[in-house]
Structure 1
């Protein structure tokens, strides 16, 4: 069972657009040292939409290699075509990932029936635990709790990443899916409340730059220590909006580079580097969170 503070890790790139594996290894070590509970490799924040399948698998494989069993790695396996999602899943079967995270098919706007058929097909192509991922703000399809409940009895579907920001869904999901089904927040701004209401963990963007503080918040919220959780949240909550001043992962990648954790801040088209008009906003939020900038 993977609980707590989980980082949606960025994928560092060299200035020529190739993956910077040296910086990736540095990031993995950083999160192990800072106490992060697990890593998601090549999810939305890892620029999964612009990595071809071969490169996607290479990044997951290197992340597992660098982690060397010291921290669980969750591999992204989402796609808007079910056949491609199955291909990504099968390609990760022998990599050593602890689980996989599959976003709802984007652009196609599948019905609940289509979502159920999609996730069953993916789950049946592997024995590795699968985590559903609902983020309608990016995919245009909202996988409602009632749809999730239809997938609970698939043996290796173990949980859902819920990124609507609607914390009322925690109660409904728990009622429909049971106590053993894992509920992860995918929204930093409501993560503390999500955990306090019975969530199991957070797959976070902000965790890329404040892993120690984020873990403190998560651990305290899960334990019911509201005072500690709120104090930890207060120290970093300015980042929760600043890191979305432009499309994720543009701001967080810029911030990680300014911290000196990666050699380059490059990002793949059609996304472009952070607009200069937002530099001050993000630097102020980082300063308030006591992040050292180089």
Structure 2
């Protein structure tokens, strides 16, 4: 399992998680709700798969809004509260995944703030006492979102760390995310580019502000728990680049595989890591609606 670490764990148009062209489809699949999600990891040995660990999520809604997600094995619970039809608070508790067997408890709390167009402008972490962590969101154009994350010393108010993610959208999908480090001058350190299918991304059915506030807890396999999950379609290829002197070099390519239902929603998603000695790891997400 040493190599298991490889798998560790726009807006105005998308603010309601839907778009007009999808709305007008007969039997609109975007009225469908995610009801269950199983995320499972299987170890591969000589072509044979053995279940290593899994999470079995259930989703609860009230007045068409997501209010609770929980794992039936008590490894994860998330509760959402709303003010004026917008998510105000997110509370998550459970045990760190991957490596659930280590039974490491964690807690995440977020307060969300909005502009007059109900676009998220701030996600505030409230679970830590020593440092104050928050992310601000800017919308310089319809196709760009800028997320700036800060870590502030609560005693003297100084910023001890910060970084910026520039999210580029095209046709309703996140095309590219640039990560900028807070240096003088600021510089790009990483770039991630995405390619998509033409089917509906299950996370697109979730409030986009929930995904922006906590992309690392998107409802998908770990590799896709990122800003790409505000996209309307499913990521089929994720290419990671390192940047040195503004030159991009490929560091990793991840191919994602899907099975689909008749309503253009995926029934399952999986990716596989192959290691020497005919060993590997298969990570899957299985959706129920």
Q: Which TM-score applies when normalising by structure 1?
A: 0.33
Q: Which TM-score applies when normalising by structure 2?
A: 0.34
Specify which structure has the higher proportion of helix.
1
